[in-house]
Amino acid sequence: MPHPFPGHQRTILVVDDERPTLTLLSEYLASKGFQVLTARDGQAGLETARSARPDLIVLDVMLPRLDGYAVARALKGDPVTAAIPIIIFSTRSSPADRAAFTAAGANLHVLKPFDPEHLLVKILELLPP
Protein backbone atom coordinates (compact mmCIF):
# COMPACT_ATOMS: atom_id res chain seq x y z
CA MET A 1 0.00 0.00 0.00
CA PRO A 2 1.45 3.40 -0.90
CA HIS A 3 1.89 6.06 1.74
CA PRO A 4 -1.66 7.31 2.41
CA PHE A 5 -0.62 10.95 2.76
CA PRO A 6 2.20 11.81 0.35
CA GLY A 7 4.21 14.82 1.45
CA HIS A 8 2.96 14.83 5.04
CA GLN A 9 3.71 12.20 7.62
CA ARG A 10 0.75 11.87 9.96
CA THR A 11 1.30 11.23 13.66
CA ILE A 12 -0.71 8.68 15.62
CA LEU A 13 -0.59 8.34 19.39
CA VAL A 14 -1.25 4.79 20.62
CA VAL A 15 -2.17 4.51 24.30
CA ASP A 16 -2.24 0.92 25.58
CA ASP A 17 -0.78 -0.74 28.67
CA GLU A 18 -0.21 -4.12 26.98
CA ARG A 19 3.34 -4.05 25.62
CA PRO A 20 2.80 -6.72 22.89
CA THR A 21 -0.22 -4.84 21.53
CA LEU A 22 1.64 -1.53 21.68
CA THR A 23 4.64 -2.98 19.86
CA LEU A 24 2.59 -4.74 17.17
CA LEU A 25 0.44 -1.71 16.49
CA SER A 26 3.39 0.72 16.52
CA GLU A 27 5.41 -1.37 14.08
CA TYR A 28 2.42 -1.91 11.79
CA LEU A 29 1.49 1.78 11.63
CA ALA A 30 5.12 2.83 11.15
CA SER A 31 5.34 0.39 8.23
CA LYS A 32 2.38 2.23 6.67
CA GLY A 33 4.18 5.57 6.83
CA PHE A 34 2.89 7.01 10.10
CA GLN A 35 4.96 8.54 12.83
CA VAL A 36 3.90 6.68 15.99
CA LEU A 37 4.01 7.95 19.55
CA THR A 38 3.16 5.63 22.43
CA ALA A 39 2.07 5.81 26.03
CA ARG A 40 1.46 2.95 28.47
CA ASP A 41 -0.96 4.65 30.87
CA GLY A 42 -3.75 7.18 30.63
CA GLN A 43 -1.95 10.06 32.32
CA ALA A 44 1.08 9.70 30.01
CA GLY A 45 -1.29 9.47 27.03
CA LEU A 46 -3.06 12.66 28.03
CA GLU A 47 0.22 14.52 28.53
CA THR A 48 1.63 13.26 25.21
CA ALA A 49 -1.55 14.23 23.35
CA ARG A 50 -1.44 17.74 24.80
CA SER A 51 2.23 18.29 24.04
CA ALA A 52 2.55 16.52 20.65
CA ARG A 53 -0.96 17.15 19.26
CA PRO A 54 -1.09 14.00 17.12
CA ASP A 55 -3.35 13.71 14.09
CA LEU A 56 -5.23 10.79 15.68
CA ILE A 57 -5.27 8.79 18.92
CA VAL A 58 -5.85 5.05 19.34
CA LEU A 59 -6.89 4.73 22.98
CA ASP A 60 -7.40 1.65 25.15
CA VAL A 61 -10.08 1.92 27.86
CA MET A 62 -8.59 -0.14 30.68
CA LEU A 63 -5.44 1.81 31.55
CA PRO A 64 -3.46 2.47 34.72
CA ARG A 65 -3.44 5.94 36.35
CA LEU A 66 -6.30 7.32 34.24
CA ASP A 67 -8.77 5.23 32.24
CA GLY A 68 -9.52 5.80 28.57
CA TYR A 69 -12.89 7.39 29.30
CA ALA A 70 -11.26 10.07 31.47
CA VAL A 71 -8.53 10.65 28.86
CA ALA A 72 -11.08 11.04 26.05
CA ARG A 73 -13.25 13.42 28.10
CA ALA A 74 -10.23 15.53 29.05
CA LEU A 75 -9.03 15.73 25.44
CA LYS A 76 -12.46 16.60 24.04
CA GLY A 77 -12.95 19.22 26.76
CA ASP A 78 -9.71 21.04 25.91
CA PRO A 79 -9.90 23.42 22.90
CA VAL A 80 -6.29 22.56 22.01
CA THR A 81 -7.02 18.82 21.61
CA ALA A 82 -10.80 18.69 21.05
CA ALA A 83 -10.54 18.18 17.27
CA ILE A 84 -8.17 15.19 17.47
CA PRO A 85 -10.06 12.06 16.38
CA ILE A 86 -10.08 9.24 18.94
CA ILE A 87 -10.50 5.55 18.19
CA ILE A 88 -11.37 3.59 21.31
CA PHE A 89 -9.54 0.29 21.21
CA SER A 90 -11.17 -2.19 23.59
CA THR A 91 -12.43 -5.70 24.27
CA ARG A 92 -15.67 -4.13 25.52
CA SER A 93 -18.45 -4.01 22.96
CA SER A 94 -21.87 -4.05 24.65
CA PRO A 95 -24.38 -1.38 23.65
CA ALA A 96 -23.77 0.32 27.04
CA ASP A 97 -20.02 0.30 26.42
CA ARG A 98 -20.45 1.77 22.95
CA ALA A 99 -22.72 4.50 24.37
CA ALA A 100 -20.09 5.27 27.02
CA PHE A 101 -17.35 5.49 24.34
CA THR A 102 -19.45 7.97 22.37
CA ALA A 103 -20.34 9.97 25.48
CA ALA A 104 -16.63 10.23 26.34
CA GLY A 105 -15.92 11.68 22.90
CA ALA A 106 -14.65 8.73 20.87
CA ASN A 107 -15.18 8.95 17.12
CA LEU A 108 -15.00 5.19 16.51
CA HIS A 109 -14.57 1.90 18.33
CA VAL A 110 -12.32 -0.97 17.21
CA LEU A 111 -12.69 -4.28 18.98
CA LYS A 112 -9.72 -6.19 20.40
CA PRO A 113 -8.33 -8.57 19.33
CA PHE A 114 -7.94 -6.52 16.19
CA ASP A 115 -7.20 -6.93 12.51
CA PRO A 116 -4.49 -4.37 11.65
CA GLU A 117 -5.92 -3.80 8.16
CA HIS A 118 -9.38 -3.07 9.61
CA LEU A 119 -7.86 -0.61 12.07
CA LEU A 120 -5.95 1.09 9.24
CA VAL A 121 -9.18 1.52 7.26
CA LYS A 122 -10.80 3.16 10.30
CA ILE A 123 -7.78 5.45 10.80
CA LEU A 124 -7.89 6.54 7.17
CA GLU A 125 -11.63 7.25 7.47
CA LEU A 126 -10.97 9.73 10.27
CA LEU A 127 -7.90 11.51 8.92
CA PRO A 128 -8.64 14.34 6.51
CA PRO A 129 -6.64 14.30 3.26
96-123 pLDDT, tens digit per residue, is: 988 999 999 999 999 888 889 999 999 9
Instruction: Look at residue 2 in the predicted model and tell me its pLDDT.
Output: 43
Report the distance separating Cα 80 and Cα 63, nearest Å. Answer: 23
**Where do the domains of the chain lie?**
11-126
Distances (CA, A) of 90 to 3, 8, 16, 50, 100: 27, 29, 10, 22, 12
Global pTM reads 0.92
With bands split at pLDDT 50, 70 and 90, how would you rate the model's confidence at 78? very high
Q: Model confidence over 64-74: pLDDT tens digits?
A: 999 999 999 99
| Residue partners of 121: CB distance under 8 A and separation at least 6 | none
Instruction: Look at residue 7 in the predicted model and tell me its pLDDT.
Output: 52
Give the residue among 84, 86, 89 at the shortest CA–CA distance from 116.
89
Q: Which fold has domain 11-126?
A: Rossmann fold (3.40.50)
